[in-house]
Amino acid sequence: MNFLNEVAGRYPEALSLAAGRPYEEYFDLAAVPRYLARYERYLAEERGLAPDQIRRTVLQYGRTKGIIHELVARNLAVDEGIEVDPEAVVVTVGCQEAMVLVLRALRSDERDVLLAVTPTYVGLTGAARLVDLPVRAVRGGPAGVDLAELAAAVRAARTEGLRPRACYLLADNSNPSGVTLDLAARRALLELAEQEDLLLLEDNPYGLFSADRLPTLKALDTARRVVYLGSFAKTGLPGARVGYLVADQSVAAPDGTVSLLADELAKLKSMLTVNTSPIAQAVIAGKLLEHDCSLLRANDREIARYRENLATLLTALATAFPPGSGVSWNAPAGGFFLVVTVPFPVDDTLLEHSARDHALLFTPMRHFDDTPPAAHQLRLSVSLLTAAQVEEGVQRLAALVASQA
Amino acid sequence: MNFLNEVAGRYPEALSLAAGRPYEEYFDLAAVPRYLARYERYLAEERGLAPDQIRRTVLQYGRTKGIIHELVARNLAVDEGIEVDPEAVVVTVGCQEAMVLVLRALRSDERDVLLAVTPTYVGLTGAARLVDLPVRAVRGGPAGVDLAELAAAVRAARTEGLRPRACYLLADNSNPSGVTLDLAARRALLELAEQEDLLLLEDNPYGLFSADRLPTLKALDTARRVVYLGSFAKTGLPGARVGYLVADQSVAAPDGTVSLLADELAKLKSMLTVNTSPIAQAVIAGKLLEHDCSLLRANDREIARYRENLATLLTALATAFPPGSGVSWNAPAGGFFLVVTVPFPVDDTLLEHSARDHALLFTPMRHFDDTPPAAHQLRLSVSLLTAAQVEEGVQRLAALVASQA
């Protein structure tokens, strides 16, 4: 994504339908000390800590698995109906560190491979490269995951003497595709994971932003097949860089002792970042506490904004590109992203032209997917914009499309 | 170190001369919002940012290399006499992430090896294990590094077809040995690094805590041989989890383009943690700004405490163990740590016995060093204690030693 950042830097006046950062108009610097104070009050009143213990909890080195694990577990119960033992939670430096920890744990030697639903979030691809874990693409398609192709990929890898350890996906409002798996697909995927003895790595930064929310894979996971990857970047505060994972699986060591996967991942974390900033965790904890641990409630304004933006985008696209225009797009149930298919190649050269001549930024889908359809696709994001900016963005996209005719 | 934490957990009443955490009696929760406000004022007044830009800087996703790089560079100039381009600074999630980034960059295939002065900080050993980079020990000895052994190790590795990429060490008040390199040793080490085309990874969390401070390797580094690893955990606030690295070396890519090592490390960071929490960085920045970017000034009370504790420890040891007692120790110039040699084996069984029967915790040196002398050595740390506790700790150590006679 370096090229994208670089283009964005060279054309600062261009309207960005590329950026996936959360809406920032409601950011409030005064909230940070308020959140800190709220968490300190919780430590005193609900946890019974003395002043010196509170000081130490927030300011000293902290527990490797994090200090807000109980609040994370409460949040998952309140917003997602996921009941987890707080001991299975590892608080991480954003979801990115969570991915690195899990992938590093899954790679023991060169026989290990990861499957990932494509188009794939670039952060996953980066984490896999960092830990030298090869990634094999499994087609997502309109249903969100092609189960037959997933099963075939697992078997093909095994036939080659490889160990397919897990399959990574976003089941809700995926980045970059915007696709959501329906309930039947979720159940079928969990069943396949059980049959094929495969872990599922469920990354869920956008699940809160659907009109009709479905249970997460983790909420449906009765066989502990799902490692859940959580982020507070979109729903808490990006500037805290706090994420987490839930890993309630049992792991047997060669000597026969059994431990919790979360504890094994914490050992890796102690070598990677030692612990997640307790101050940053306290900020997120305060926001959770202010809203009875519901981020759905905490984000009511943002959720309304994203829904309005997505509806505006769908309407504006339908107006700008009538049937027969050769331009098509999908209709996500929520989230930040939507994919447009155009009748000409979409690459970094086109992006440069778009930025320069049409003051519009987007993300070529070939950054996420190297199959042929992606070569004619682009991702639009609505998260950082007002509805008026979304409309203006579609006008500029129409001008770009016209320039390619 | 899991066993140490576990023993400490089982004997909470034991006095810990094991913990290397910074002194916490001066921790002040009220300082955190004050630091944040101070940094926000700096962004407005010194950097000319508008309110929405300040909000975005602190609360949104941020620059991969960090947002306080200019203040870090100022701090290095003020406290260490190190002049660096702020663009060569990467702000990291503690020094641990800095080590992981550098070691990951140094490992391109199985021929790469790292040299490390022994006894070696366990965080380095952990980071190397995480990125699959083998570590070869080079004796430190009383001078801090055995240059002849280092040169021999480099050549031996090359003879085996390996690439010794760098040598890791603490030149000041090393953890765990307490040893400091003298000026002549520093110059000779830099010369050797130049001759042998070797990088030096200088980790410096304790340099501020010496009575007579020497120039760091980085301050003497005219040939860009030193990657400097910095920590704010001991001098800023551990709860912020902010560290940094300085990597002003040039790197040539296979296609001939030349870049700054810091920028290559930032690419790896984008896959590891994306960016260091801007809120946490802002806290450290505020502390720096409150003290004109001098952490020497910011830590005057802590520095006095550590010096008094170390002096107390040396006096108490001399009183408890007169000549002929069979117990000896080194005399560090500063820092947190000191190594005691005893006439019996020091292992985890002894630690358990010490915790249970003498209410004393220490760190067996074999956790840092697998050579025979370490088997009879233990590390004492004075950072978390009052002078009275240090004296009490030595009394308990004397009782432990008597029990082994």
| Contact between B96 and A127 using a beta-carbon 8 Å cutoff | no
Contact indicator for A115, A152 with CB cutoff of 8 Å: no
Strand B112-118 relative to strand B135-139: parallel, antiparallel, unpaired? Answer: parallel
- Which residue in A144, A143, A263, A132 sits closest to A202, CA to CA? A144
What are the start-end ranges of the E strands in B212-271? 226-231, 243-246, 250-252, 258-260
Q: What pLDDT, on a 0 to 100 scale, did the predictor assign at position B2?
A: 72
Q: State the virtual CA torsion across A202, A207, A213, A216 in degrees, nearest 10.
A: 20
- In this structure, whether the domain defined by B31-296 belongs to CATH 3.40.640.10 is answered with yes
| Contact between A33 and B32 using a beta-carbon 8 Å cutoff | yes
Cα dihedral across residues A104, A105, A110, A113: positive or negative: negative
What CATH number matches the domain at A31-294, 3.40.640.10, 3.30.70.20, 3.10.110.10, 3.20.20.370?
A: 3.40.640.10
> Quick one: average pLDDT of A188-202?
98
> Quick one: average pLDDT of B364-379?
95
**Domain boundaries of chain B, sorted by first residue:** 2-20+299-403, 31-296
Q: Residue A266: its chain B contacts at CB < 8 A?
A: none
Q: How far is CA B209 from CA A183, B9, B181, B212, B289, in A?
A: 60, 29, 14, 9, 20
- Which residue in B404, B377, B348 sits closest to B1, CA to CA? B348
Beta-ladder partners of B329: B340
Mean pLDDT score of chain B: 97
Q: Residue A67: its chain B contacts at CB < 8 A?
A: none
Q: What pLDDT, on a 0 to 100 scale, did the predictor assign at position A2?
A: 72
Cα three-residue angle A297-A299-A303, rounded to 5 degrees:
115
Q: What pLDDT, on a 0 to 100 scale, did the predictor assign at position A211?
A: 84
- For the domain B2-20+299-403, what is the CATH code? 3.90.1150.10
The answer on pLDDT for A1 being more than 80 is: no
Contact indicator for B204, B173 with CB cutoff of 8 Å: no
Give the C-alpha separation, B201 to B116, whole Å: 9
Contact indicator for A78, A84 with CB cutoff of 8 Å: no
Contact indicator for A67, A92 with CB cutoff of 8 Å: no
> Quick one: average pLDDT of B27-56?
98
Q: What pLDDT, on a 0 to 100 scale, did the predictor assign at position B1?
A: 62
The answer on pLDDT for B169 being more than 70 is: yes
Residue B264 tokens, joined: 């290559």
Diameter of chain B measured on Cα atoms? 70
Contact indicator for A169, A204 with CB cutoff of 8 Å: no
| Contact between B233 and A97 using a beta-carbon 8 Å cutoff | no
The answer on pLDDT for A279 being more than 90 is: yes
The answer on pLDDT for B404 being more than 80 is: yes
Distance from CA of B183 to the nearest CA of A (A): 32
Contact indicator for B8, B16 with CB cutoff of 8 Å: yes
> Quick one: average pLDDT of A154-177?
98
Cα three-residue angle A34-A36-A40, rounded to 5 degrees:
115
Stated as kind and residue range, the H or E segment containing A269 is helix A261-272
Residue A254 tokens, joined: 């060669």
Of the CA atoms within 13 Å of residue A78, those in its CB half-sphere come to 16
Give the C-alpha separation, A387 to A303, whole Å: 13
> Quick one: average pLDDT of A184-202?
98
Beta-ladder partners of B258: B252
The answer on pLDDT for A142 being more than 70 is: yes
Summarize chain A as % helix, strand, coil (round to 5): 45, 15, 35
What are the start-end ranges of the E strands in A147-241? 163-169, 199-203, 226-231
pLDDT digits (tens, 9 = 90+) for B62-105: 999 999 999 999 999 999 999 999 999 999 999 999 999 999 99
Cα dihedral across residues B137, B139, B144, B148: positive or negative: negative
The residue of A96, A271, A276, A367 whose CB has the most chain B CBs within 10 angstroms, and thus the best one to mutate to test that interface, is: A271
Which of 212-251 (B) contact A at CB < 8 A? 233, 237-242
**Interchain CB contact of B274 with A (< 8 Å):** yes
Residue A355 burial (C-beta neighbours within 10 Å; 0-12, 13-18, 19+): buried
Give the C-alpha separation, B225 to A401, whole Å: 52
Stated as kind and residue range, the H or E segment containing A260 is strand A258-260
DSSP state of B78: I
The dihedrals phi and psi of B209, each to the nearest 5 degrees, come to -100, 30
